[in-house]
Amino acid sequence: VLDHTTMAPVKRFQASKENRTTRRKLASTAEPTSRCKPSNTRTTKTAMLATTAPTMAVTKTEMSKLLFEKNVNEEELLSKPPDMLTEDFYNIVGRAMRMFEWYHGYMSREGCEEYMKEVGDFLVRRTLIDGKPNYIMSVFVCKEGDKPKTAHIRIDYKSGTWNINENMKKASITQLIKHYQDNSSKYSDAAGPFLKKGVSRPAFYLLHENIHIGKQIGSGAFGTVHVGQLKKGTEIVEVAVKKMKSEKADKKKLQEFFKEGRLMLRFNHPNIVRVYGVAPGDTPILIVLEFAKGGSLKSYCKNNDPVPCAQLDNFAKDACRGMNYLQSMKVIHRDLAARNCLLGPNAELKISDFGLSHRGDSFQLDKLKSVPVKWLSPETLSKGKFSHKTDVWSYGMLLWEIYMRCKEDPFPKKNNAEAMELILNKKPPIDAPPNMPEKIKETMMWCLSHDDTERPDFEGVFKKLLPDETSPLMNQLKNDLF
């Protein structure tokens, strides 16, 4: 078996009545240090094992309880030398540290720096180095004028001990943290202890044990989407869970996955799918989303054929509301299409899937790869340019899909090369669907203006389709003024 604080092989703890009593006493008397104060979450077996005496052994049964993934072979895990343990080893160590608020799980360098305010602020995070999991100690070490400096130090594990490339070695990361809360380090010129204040996990950080993952309802290159449940205090909320494929994880994919989750956390609008939070402390990494009870727009149109024209009008207006809100938040969606529209319980349309989204008013790509050609604007296809107005072009194509009742993609019976030729050279590139209301038809053609200087932004589309409503941008301007 393995000593949990060192992950080194030790003699199995005999399960006699006397020894079981001893173990209970050890667990009950083990107290975390005052500076390593645990969070208010209920102390679990994992947390007890992290703070008990170094000679405390982890039995096979306890190890099994620590492993979330059912496909993990406990016999194989226990038989491996500690230095050979990778994903499962780091999962177990992470679960033991989870009782401390300074442990943040998977987090990018940029993501953690925004939480560092004062010299000595610190957290421990997990990352991938050369495709393998590692722990990093991120510490705010000094303020250099207007540019604060944060050190990101790898916590190495070797021969049953942890260290940060100094002579000091400890049997657990928790013990290492405690040492540097009392002592200085070569990594900082500041006086006093190296680590002063642990940075608490943000409110959107969710724990895996509070998330139940049910049946799969979708999939993509990133992984899978499942129906699930989220425990929020005493409340159980029905949610959708986006699960990243562990075997597909590399540093770039992790960053993209987190970027999507963190971007969506900024949104608060009835026509944008809501995000409850991110669960980065374990694998698989999860994004927990609002569950769209009405299903997808495409499925709704298929199951309710023919959808009344009044309902199609509502879909068009809802999409406009959502996209105008994104523009006010300076976010370019880049993948607006019927396939990325979901419906709430009252058939209200919600924009989803922000995997390609970008914060800003415009940006340019040198090379387009795996892009949805039939929804892209001429300037995107010819120059790699993206902006709010390229989203407006995609909105014009979405209007075509909506009033075709989602029976076909734009440019039916055309391949991507043929569609691209029409987008670049034909004005307009596609005809309006039959029986499309005149006002919607005018809006669609306006959105599909070949010259982006003649194309409206979403504020213009909003004013045309919803003249009696106040746009998010106007509300923001009022708030800024008053």
Catalytic site includes residue 182: no
**Amino acid symbol at 196:** K
Share of the chain above pLDDT 90, in %: 54
Taking phi over 0 as left and psi of -120 to 50 as alpha, with beta for the rest, 453 belongs to alpha
- Taking residues 132-144, what's their average pLDDT? 86
Q: Element (H or E) spanning 362, and its range?
A: strand 362-364
* pLDDT higher at 156 or 251: 156
Question: pLDDT band for position 368 (50/70/90)?
Answer: confident
Q: Which residues contact 70 (CB under 8 A, 6 or more apart)?
A: none
- Taking residues 155-168, what's their average pLDDT? 86
Q: Return d(Cα 347, Cα 313) in angstroms, integer.
A: 12
- Please give the domain boundaries of the chain with CATH numbers for all domains: 2-198 (3.30.505.10), 222-290 (3.30.200.20), 295-481 (1.10.510.10)
Residue tagged active-site, from 121, 282, 335, 409: 335
Q: Tokens representing 288?
A: 């927990």
For residue 121, pLDDT beyond 90? yes
pLDDT value of position 272: 97
pLDDT value of position 192: 77
Question: pLDDT band for position 291 (50/70/90)?
Answer: very high
Q: Give just the sign of the alpha carbon dihedral 73, 79, 85, 91.
A: positive
- Best-predicted range by mean pLDDT (70-79, 90-99, 130-139, 390-399): 390-399
Measure CA of the first residue to CA of the last residue in the chain; give whole Å.
Answer: 65
Measured at the CA of 94, the angle between CA 90 and CA 96, to 5 degrees, comes to 125
Instruction: List pLDDT tens digits, range 370-383.
Output: 889 999 999 999 99
pLDDT value of position 46: 41
- Taking residues 9-29, what's their average pLDDT? 45
- Helix-strand-coil split of the chain, %, nearest 5: 35, 25, 40
Of 228, 306, 324, the C-alpha closest to 270 is 324
pLDDT value of position 362: 92
251 is in an annotated binding site: no
Q: Return d(Cα 272, Cα 318) in angstroms, integer.
A: 9
Q: Return d(Cα 228, Cα 237) in angstroms, integer.
A: 8
Which residue(s) pair with 155 in the sheet? Answer: 135
Q: Return d(Cα 299, Cα 318) in angstroms, integer.
A: 17
Q: Element (H or E) spanning 128, and its range?
A: strand 121-129
Q: Return d(Cα 172, Cα 175) in angstroms, integer.
A: 5
pLDDT value of position 128: 85
Give yes or no for a contact between 9 and 2, defined as CB atoms under 8 angstroms apart: yes
Instruction: List pLDDT tens digits, range 308-334.
Output: 999 999 999 999 999 999 999 999 999
Q: Which residues contact 44 (CB under 8 A, 6 or more apart)?
A: 99, 209
Taking phi over 0 as left and psi of -120 to 50 as alpha, with beta for the rest, 237 belongs to beta
Q: Return d(Cα 92, Cα 66) in angstroms, integer.
A: 6
Lowest mean pLDDT among 192-206, 212-226, 466-480: 466-480
pLDDT value of position 143: 67
Mean pLDDT of the chain: 82
Q: Which residues contact 9 (CB under 8 A, 6 or more apart)?
A: 1, 2, 3, 82
* pLDDT higher at 79 or 441: 441
Q: Tokens representing 350?
A: 């919600």
Lowest mean pLDDT among 39-43, 172-176, 218-222, 284-288: 39-43
